[in-house]
Amino acid sequence: MNSGQVDSNEVREKETERGKRGIVFTDNSPFATLKSVPISAVKMNDGFWKARMEVSAQAGIPSLYRLFKEKGIFDNFIRVYKKGYAPRRGPFFTDSDVYKWVEAASFALQSEDSSRLKDMLDEVIDLIIPAQDEDGYLNTYFVEEKARERFKNLKVYHELYCAGHLFQAAVAHHRATGEEKLLECAIRFADHLCKVFGPGKRDGFSGHPEIEMALVELYRETGKKRYLDLSGFFLDQVGFASLKEVIGHAVRAMYLACGGADYYAETGREDFWESLTRQWESMVKTKSYITGGIGSRHSGEAFGAPYELPNEGAYAETCAAIGSIYWNWRMLLITGNSQFADVMEKTLYNGFLAGVSLSGDRYFYVNPLLFSPQSLFSNQTPPPWNRGGYGNRMLVNGRRKPWYDCTCCPTNSVRMLSSIPGYFFSLSKEGIWIHLYDNCSLDWHLEDGTKFSLIQRTKYPWQGKVDIEVYPEKEKDFSLFLRIPGWCKGMEALVNGERVSPKLANGYLKVNRVWKKGDRLTLNLKMKTEVMVSNRRISENRGKVALQRGPIVYCFEGVDNPGIPILEASLKIDKDKGSLVNLKESYYKDLLGGIVALKMDGAIPDPSELDSPLYRSFEEERSCRFKSVSLTAIPYYAWANRKLSDMTVWIPYAL
């Protein structure tokens, strides 16, 4: 066989592999239970997530592309190879935001073959690649006189963080298009890092994790084990195996945990798994909001102490919610345990989605669970004696913005939305796993290569009924695993109209049979409004409740409750049944993109009571007069899409 034939065979093999790898590729990971399914194998049909993906692809991704041009961020790359072209713009880590945009556009191309998006993507990649040094180094901040500072302060500057995002963008682009130009760029940079860092070379680790999981995914894409080894080196340098709880900057903690999970999936290091388990339990049991949001302190964008979960002062950065989704996805792939999918789903619908406007092109950086325009956190006017500033404070104006100088949340949001289809399904030797529910179809294969199609029809998350049609290319014995969400208090399953005995394993309903074309499985998840309380150690929530229906957490916004001081209202709860009084659940097609809103009885203090002394005796409080009102709640993710008003998730109650 001549060399020309070898080359053409290699090209055909690469073309065959194009688009056939999941967001996190675990097909060859020896310590992963599940294999991910690529975005391209899943088609989102009209439903909840398709609408949000479309506005992101049509408005969010293009608007960030325009803003990167207007703000001179793309010029940062051009000035490296066109001396004097323009001054550098943005923070020292701005390169990473461009790479996240590339990743978002690459994910979007796997769902839709858009020439407009492809042209933008090609243009941006062609701006990036010429900025790479001959030795493979690529960072637009450490050039010219700053070149001598490379790798001198890894804990502060984000060189390895930016490199990691380049690697992930390159892998996503390669999987979407089959093109290798950006992948080759990433490989050159990764090889440079392997020459600089490692045993017997330079020590150190990134102050902002990202490189760890990126190196593992680059190893999965290329098969070059030195990238996996370098990831393990960085994780050992930071002392990953010794971590007792999830601490510090929330986004960094999530990205580090992702790297640890990826490394475990390839190596099976038991001390890493023990660390991952400790950190996850710490986060879920003591440091997470009901929305799935994490990182309660605005100081340091960090996790606080256990149960330190303020509502009005919640930081809950959108990027941290996304990082939690990434981590829980990896833990799910490793274990096949629904507890990780439960956290992922809660965070997707609430803690993450609240960070993006319904228009798809405006974003929250922080996501409080209580807001007032008169809040300390929205007041930006310093007192006369402190004109120089107001300290380390969080400022929230109740309005999502199209741009932040630190553009991490907008770019992270569009890449999250573009990747949504990749989180719905997984594969194992036993069959197909269904993690999320929405109108969609899967066109993939079983592990033995048998082609397989599946169609979901549902009104989830507003209704709990899911119809699933199965189309194997031939009659085949395998299992479907359907996640029974942790919020669900009752369910039934039917195959072709006949009830199936529940067989739950790790939170999944396993339905095994010889499947034929057109077989229909119906899953009915009991969905009702739940009145939720928190652990009493969360001091702000004592005497308060929150509302959740299915995976959706609700809030009370002033705009839906005109004339009612919503932050002074309380709910009426039937003391015998523990349920809301006169609850009505109604779907409104034209409200906030289509939602189920909740109406119920409540009460507000008589106006005269609001002028009472700052403090008074309990005896006087007992005689407080209240006025009955009707209250309306909407999904938390939809707040702040209309006029500015008060909002709260947790609300007092009266029996």
User: Containing H/E element for 431?
Assistant: strand 431-434
- Does residue 624 carry a catalytic annotation? no
Strand partners, 545: 651
| CA neighbor of 162 nearest in space, from 176, 183, 142, 134 | 142
Cα–Cα dist 524/493, whole Å: 6
Chain center to CA of 372: 26
Cα–Cα dist 192/276, whole Å: 29
Which candidate in 210, 301, 312, 540 is catalytic?
301
- Does residue 317 carry a catalytic annotation? no
Residues 6+ apart with CB under 8 A from 2: none
Q: Which string of DSSP letters, residue by residue, matches 85-98?
A: S----S-TTHHHHH
Which candidate in 162, 408, 409, 555 is catalytic?
408
Residue type, 472: P
Q: How many CA atoms lie within 13 A of 68 on its CB side?
A: 30
Cα–Cα dist 640/371, whole Å: 10
User: Containing H/E element for 523?
Assistant: strand 519-525
Cβ neighbours of 69 (radius 10 Å) = 13
Helix (H, G, I), strand (E, B) or coil at 328: helix
In which residue are the tokens 């500015």 written?
644
* Token output for 334: 């490793």
Cα–Cα dist 340/325, whole Å: 9
Burial 375-401 (b: 16+ CB within 10 A, else e): bebbeeeeeeeeeeeeeeebebebebe
User: Containing H/E element for 593?
Assistant: none
Catalytic residues: 301, 408
